[in-house]
Amino acid sequence: MKELEGPPHYLYDLCNFFDLRPASLYSDLLLFISKLKGDKETIETVNIVRYLKMGNFTFSPTKMKGYLKDLENKGLLREQSPESFTITKLIPSYDEMKALEEGTKTYTFSIDYSNGKRHIHFNIGDTFSQKPKKKEHQEDIIKKTIEYLNSQTNKNFKYQTHATKKLIAGRLREGHTFSDFKRVIDNKVSEWAYDPEMAKYLRPATLFSPSKFEAYLNENESTGPLEDDQQDKIRETFREALRQKIKQENKS
């Protein structure tokens, strides 16, 4: 089974349900702890802090212990001693997470209230079919997204570029779909394509950035994909922008 590139969607859902915000931080943390714990019964806090320094977690040990305490208070971690934790059964093991992502296992989660108390139910089981559940793979969505962007802007971005793949994969982990990427592209192409100063921002680094994607997605709906004559105008806009740049460089 392939290694997980990021937290599965249900970890985001659990963190949001338990009001652990930002869910992206806590789900990353849970995934990391689950992987670090492996088959061990417990994991020591000092090891969590030490190994997190090797990743992209840059906060202090004191802050890290605060995050762990938040997870414990919500019932996702259980303190075994002042310096060690175990993950509760609400969080699947790392191997189970990989199986869930591949579609060979299922995860169900529900809540009911009785006698004034909240009862949480969860179950991890095998799918009925031995074959992984058919779904559109992340790589396919990345490829489709960049191909669509190229078709609308007459550019030639590569979907295999690490930075581009990381951006799109990040938005997919947040629950976005190909139709969301398509809408953002349509929105910004219709707004920027005829402006040489703004057309240069029709690129993955701008369109799919974590700080801008949500805003672009929720702007007024665009008129949709461009017709051939509109694409010809865009090509001429790009050519004019290039001519202006060369002209300025020759003067200096």
Fold classification of 9-126 is Arc Repressor Mutant, subunit A (1.10.10)
Alpha carbon of residue 6 to chain centroid: 7
Question: Both tokens of residue 250?
Answer: 């020759």
Residue 22: is the preceding peptide bond cis (ω within 30°)? Answer: yes
Lowest mean pLDDT among 43-47, 153-157, 215-219: 43-47
Percentage of the chain lying above the pLDDT 90 cut: 19
Q: Which pLDDT value is given to residue 252?
A: 61
Task: Over range 59-82, report the average pLDDT.
Answer: 84
Concatenating the DSSP letter of every residue in 51-116 gives HHTTTT--S-HHHHHHHHHHHHHTTSEEEEETTEEEE-TTSPPHHHHHHHHHTSEEEEEEEEEETT
Lowest mean pLDDT among 70-84, 99-113, 168-182: 99-113
- Rg of the chain on CA atoms, in Å: 23
**What's the mean pLDDT when you consider all of the chain?**
80
Whether 144 shows a pLDDT value over 90: the answer reads yes
Task: Over range 138-147, report the average pLDDT.
Answer: 93
Whether 189 shows a pLDDT value over 60: the answer reads yes
Q: Which pLDDT value is given to residue 130?
A: 46
Question: For the chain, what percentages of helix, strand and coil (3-state, to nearest 5) are there?
Answer: 55, 10, 35
Q: How confident is the model at residue 129 (pLDDT cuts 50, 70, 90)?
A: very low
Closest CA to 202 of 214, 217, 186: 186
**In sequence order, what are the beta bridge partners of 79?**
85
Whether 133 shows a pLDDT value over 60: the answer reads no
Question: Both tokens of residue 162?
Answer: 């690490």
CA–CA dist 177, 182 (Å, integer): 9
Whether 197 shows a pLDDT value over 80: the answer reads yes
CB 29 within 8 A of CB 15: no
Backbone angles phi, psi at 141, to 5 degrees: -65, -40
Percentage of the chain lying above the pLDDT 70 cut: 80
Residue spans in the chain of domains classed CATH 1.10.10: 9-126
Instruction: Give residue 199's identity as a one-letter amino acid code.
Output: A
CA–CA dist 173, 160 (Å, integer): 18
CA–CA dist 204, 214 (Å, integer): 14
CA–CA dist 117, 30 (Å, integer): 26
Q: Which pLDDT value is given to residue 159?
A: 92
Question: Both tokens of residue 112?
Answer: 């009911």
* E-assigned strand segments in 104-185: 105-114, 117-126
Q: Which pLDDT value is given to residue 168?
A: 94
Per-residue model confidence as pLDDT tens digits over 17-29: 888 888 888 888 8
Q: pTM for the full model? A: 0.49
Per-residue model confidence as pLDDT tens digits over 198-249: 888 999 999 999 999 988 988 765 545 555 555 565 556 656 666 676 677 6
